[in-house]
Chains A and B, each alone.
Chain A
Amino acid sequence: MTAEELRPEASKEPASQPIADEVKGEAPSADAAQAPAARPRAAGRAPAGPPPGQQAPPTADAVKLEAIFKEILGEQAMKVEYNFGELVLTVLPEQILEVCRIGRTDPRLDFNYLRSLSGVDYVTHFEVVYHLYSLDKLHKITLKTRISHEEPEVDSVISVWSGADWHERELAEMFDINVKGHPNLVPLLLDEGVDEHPLLKSHPLVPMGEDRPGVITDLGESDWMGYRASGGKE
């Protein structure tokens, strides 16, 4: 599934349009082969059943949460999965702020604690993942949204949790994702003036000695750089 297929005119369609099929399923294996981290399995090893995450039955909390979200958002507006028995909801990017707000304000959900906000580059698309938790009700949920590389934009949830501030700044600088509505979207961790987005899969780990901004390559007579560039062979 390519990024174009991911949200075909999703913004033009009414919200009731079923997206369950659009966002269903893993990225195809062809993309997995392209990804730098993916390697073929060892020959001769048969896959041993479904991965552990899918084996666990849903917890009672997760079933309850699913019913509440279905009641609020409607059956079609989201894709429901279970990972290690916990609920994973995937919604459209234009819905994410609204879903987060509902999650925070609805007394039955009461997700008052943003545990983590992560970005993942799946080569075909980005995924922004929100791990939410309720300190009072002690239940948790993983919210996901998928955005395309062509239009890397996601709404800021800083109005829902103040703690999203630095997470979103990190997301913006590491993935080159525009976080709409963030009041202060300046780089957080990287050097000033570095226009790179290291956590993109297209950003390789370059050995020192390559011409990169911020790396001093001219060390005069020293052969150190040549040594590193050759991988230590010379």
Chain B
Amino acid sequence: MALDRLQTVDMTINMGPQHPSTHGVFRMVLRVDGERILDCEPYIGYLHRGFEKLSENENYHTVLIHLDRTDYLAGFCNEMAYIIALEKLLGVVPSERAEYIRVIMCELNRIASHMMFYGALGADAGALTPFLYAFRERERLQGLFEAVSGARMMFFYFRAGGVRIDLPDGFIRECRRVLDAVKFGIDECDKLLTNNEVFISRTKGIGAISAAAAIDYGCSGPILRACGVKEDVRRSEPYSIYDRLDFDIPVAYSGDTYDRYVVRMEEMRQSIRIVEQCLDQIPDGPFMGKVPRFIRPEPGEVYVRTENPRGDYGIYLISRGGDYPYRVKLRSPCFCNLMALREMLKDCYIADSVMVLGSLDIVLGEVDR
């Protein structure tokens, strides 16, 4: 029988929700023709904990506890967005030293988060060694987080007007030491994967998305910057002290999995630059600004966006007076990045779907909230 008369039908296969490559509990239904993906339907919500509803029944500060648990790889960055929103509503100005402490912690957190991404993407490609190297570096940073906030992941460290407690003695010296080690570690990681032939063939040209489509879907962070859009909230809408700091925004142009990886590797180096500048400039003084005794903002609303390791992290905070926020809406970067997954997976092979998903660096706690 001639091959063109052979009838074939598309097959629908399920991936997840407990697939190890989905970095959490995420399910997608793929429609495939042989090994090629025709369409993909993502299903989320397995980790939905009602963060927004719970926040309406929390004090303004205890909302932070839930925020740490949304994007659990970048707790400081989440707290940053919310605290800026709260301070704007309160009309509170944080102390100078606190601003520096916050930026230092956020940028260290960015490195730690990207290290996690690096290790996981390598593991997705079948390279397990980079994972161990990444965790060695991440562990150094976790040590700093623990020294400063007392916790390794759920920090609850920022407060309106400042931070909970000052940096421990000798932090600046220890931080410089760690940064030197991490700098070396990043170069080492670079050598392991970036020019690896197998890794390149698994990532180059895979899961590409055009800049126009990425903008249309509301992608942000390294996903958008890998498409050649030079957009970084730290530059386009500087918050905290980022307008005083000197750093570059890495951009790549083909929008594929490899470029997303390269952008993140460079971002880690830029974060180190930022932290080093902060360590040079950090002033002495109080770690808390002048704050009213009761956190009770006037009625009003504010939308604040910050640059999370995963992208544009927005907090829409509404107060109508009283001790509790009226509404807290979280604009999660992964939520929007995941919408574009369908676009990226078109015409990929099934095996590549794991790499593409890994390159999005999703944290399901933040997608599902």
- Chain A interface (Cβ < 8 Å from any Cβ of B): 26, 32, 35-42, 47-48, 50-55, 83-84, 112-116, 118, 120-121, 129, 131, 135, 138, 142, 161-163, 165-166, 174, 187-191, 198-199, 203, 205
- Quick check: A53 and B218 within 8 Å, CB to CB? no
The residues of B that contact A189 with a CB separation of less than 8 Å are 44-45, 48, 368-369
Contact B88 A37 (CB under 8 A): no
Q: Which residues of B contact A39 (CB under 8 A)?
A: 321-324
A163-B53 in contact given A188-B44, A189-B45 (Cβ < 8 Å) = no
Closest B residue to A131 using CB positions = B303
Which residues in B have their C-beta under 8 angstroms from that of A115?
Answer: 218, 303, 305, 312, 314, 331
Cross-chain contact of B218 among A114, A118, A120, A205 (Cβ < 8 A) = A114
Query: Are A113 and B215 touching (Cβ within 8 A)?
Result: yes
Q: Tell whether B56 is near chain A: CB-to-CB under 8 Å.
A: yes
Write 23 A-B pairs (CB below 8 A) sorted by A numbering. Answer: A32-B299, A35-B326, A37-B57, A37-B325, A39-B322, A53-B88, A53-B89, A112-B216, A115-B303, A115-B305, A115-B312, A120-B318, A120-B327, A135-B215, A135-B231, A165-B339, A166-B335, A166-B338, A166-B339, A174-B52, A188-B45, A190-B48, A191-B45
Q: CB distance B215 to A112 under 8 Å?
A: yes
Q: Quick one: which of B218, B296, B305, B369 has the most chain A CB within 10 A?
A: B218
- C-alpha gap A223/B204 in the complex (Å): 58
Q: How far is the CA of A162 from the CA of B45 in the complex (A)?
A: 20
Please pick, from A32, A36, A52, A205, the residue contacting B298 in the complex, using a CB distance under 8 A.
A52
Nearest to B323 among chain A residues (CB) is A39
Q: Does B191 contact A (CB under 8 A)?
A: no
Alpha-carbon distance between A133 and B213 when the two chains are bound, in angstroms: 16
Tell me which residues across on chain A come within 8 A of B369, comparing CB atoms: 189
Q: Is B133 positioned at the interface, with any CB of A under 8 Å from its CB?
A: no
Are A163 and B218 in contact (CB-based, < 8 A)? yes
In the complex, are the beta carbons of B299 and A52 less than 8 A apart?
no
CA distance A184 to B339 in the complex (A): 13
Task: State whether the Cβ of B329 lies closer than 8 Å to any Cβ in chain A.
Answer: yes
Size bin of chain B's contact surface = 35 or more
Q: Is the CB of A38 within 8 A of B298?
A: no
Question: Are B53 and A205 within 8 A (Cβ)?
Answer: yes
Pair A162/B298 contact, Cβ less than 8 Å: no
Given A163-B217, A199-B53, also A37-B89 (CB < 8 A):
no
User: Cβ of B236 and Cβ of A138 under 8 Å apart?
Assistant: yes
Within the complex, the shortest CB–CB distance from A44 to chain B, in Å, comes to 12
Question: Which of B298, B314, B335 makes the CB contact (< 8 A) with A131?
Answer: B314
Contact of A51 among B298, B316, B335 (CB under 8 A): B298
Identity of the chain A residue whose Cβ is nearest the Cβ of B368 in the assembled complex: A189
Are A37 and B316 touching (Cβ within 8 A)?
no
State which of B216, B217, B316, B339 has its C-beta within 8 Å of the C-beta of A129: B316
User: Of A37, A52, A174, which is within 8 A of B320 by CB?
Assistant: A37
Minimum distance in angstroms from A128 CB to a CB of chain B: 11
B181 contacts A by Cβ under 8 Å: no
| Alpha-carbon gap, A119 to B316, bound state (A) | 10
Contacts of B299 in A (CB 8 A): 26, 32, 51
B116 part of interface (Cβ distance < 8 Å): no
A39–B57 Cα distance when bound, in Å, is 12
Q: Which residue of the partner chain, among B52, B88, B303, contacts A142 with CB atoms under 8 Å?
A: B303
For residue A140, which residue of chain B has the nearest CB?
B237
**Known contacts A32-B321, A39-B321, A84-B302: A116-B329 contact under CB 8 Å:** yes
A residues less than 8 Å from B300 (CB atoms): 51-54, 83
Given contacts A189-B44, A199-B52, contact A37 B324 (CB under 8 A): yes
CB closest residue in chain A, given B328: A118
- Would B322 and A113 count as touching, CB distance under 8 A? no
With beta carbons under 8 angstroms apart, the residue of A41, A129, A190 that contacts B321 is: A41
- The smallest C-beta distance from B44 to any residue of chain A, in angstroms, reads 7
Expressed in whole angstroms, the Cα–Cα distance for A135 and B220 within the complex equals 11
Report yes or no: A162 in contact with B217, Cβ–Cβ below 8 A. yes
Chain A residues near B34: list those with CB within 8 A: none
Q: Residues of A contacting B50 with CB < 8 Å?
A: 198
* Residue B79 at the chain A interface, CB threshold 8 Å: no
Bound complex: CA A189 to CA B217 (Å): 19
Q: With A36-B56, A38-B321, A41-B321 as given contacts, are A116 and B215 in contact (CB-CB < 8 Å)?
A: no
Q: What chain B residues lie within 8 Å of A116 (beta carbons)? A: 303, 314, 316, 329, 331
Chain A residues whose C-beta falls within 8 Å of the C-beta of B301 in the assembled complex: 53, 83
Q: Does B336 contact A (CB under 8 A)?
A: yes
User: Is the pair B320, A38 in contact by a Cβ cutoff of 8 Å?
Assistant: yes
Known contacts A51-B298, A83-B301; decide if A161 and B218 are in contact (CB<8 Å): yes
Residues on A with beta carbons closer than 8 Å to the beta carbon of B318 = 120
Q: A39-B324, A135-B215 are in contact. List 10 more A-B contacts (CB 8 A).
A: A37-B57, A40-B322, A53-B302, A54-B300, A116-B314, A166-B339, A189-B45, A189-B368, A199-B53, A203-B53
A38: chain B residues at CB < 8 Å are 320-322, 326
CA distance in complex: A5, B213 (Å)? 41
